[in-house]
Amino acid sequence: MKKKDKGKKPTPVIERPVDQYFYTLDQQFGKGNKLIYALSIGLFFFGIMGLVWIVPFPQLAFLQKHNMQTFLNWGSFYIAIIIYLYLRLAPTLSYAMLFAIGILSFFIVQLEYAERAGGPAVWLVSLLFVLLGIGLSYFLARRDHPALSMQSFWRLLTLGPIWLWSKVFILLKIKY
């Protein structure tokens, strides 16, 4: 932090793009209830992951031969892209996101098992989570900032998961 004048708030020196993104998110959404933001972003991310996960993937003979077809789906590609993008922003935080995605993947597979046993469809549960996450985030963001742009709202939803991990790292005093 560097000070401009006496009595004024320090102006942050932002060196990395990830710091700029997080600073912007902190300014726009950091004043609200962080627990509700964390819940809404988590619901949204889990729902999107579930929706991408269940999109039918082409049956590949060589994978079926080795009983590996269940491990390759569109969710695998989505996870790879997300982790790659987050890795470019902040490697340490991307590892934390990979851990979180592993846990979310486990729950998506449990939803698949529940659907096979006669439970609700995975796409329906995932869509419900997406709508709840978007609705809760949007309501909270509009309450905190009435002049919210769609670009800043989508930035919250796309960078929100890694932004939340940055808060955990800051709390634990781990450099990212």
Confidence check: pLDDT of 66 > 90: no
Task: Report if residue 89 sits inside a domain.
Answer: yes
pLDDT-derived band at 74 (thresholds 50, 70, 90) equals confident
pLDDT in tens, 29-65: 766 677 888 899 999 999 999 999 998 877 666 666 6
Task: Report if residue 172 sits inside a domain.
Answer: yes
The percent of residues above 70 in pLDDT, for the chain, comes to: 81
The residue with greater pLDDT, 127 or 13, is 127
Which residue in the block uniquely carries the two structure tokens 């004048």? 5
Task: Report if residue 49 sits inside a domain.
Answer: yes
Task: Report if residue 65 sits inside a domain.
Answer: no
Task: Report if residue 137 sits inside a domain.
Answer: yes
- The number of domains in the chain is 1
Range of the domain at 123: 39-53+77-176
Task: Report if residue 13 sits inside a domain.
Answer: no
Task: Report if residue 29 sits inside a domain.
Answer: no
pLDDT in tens, 143-157: 777 666 778 778 878
Residue 73: the pLDDT is 81
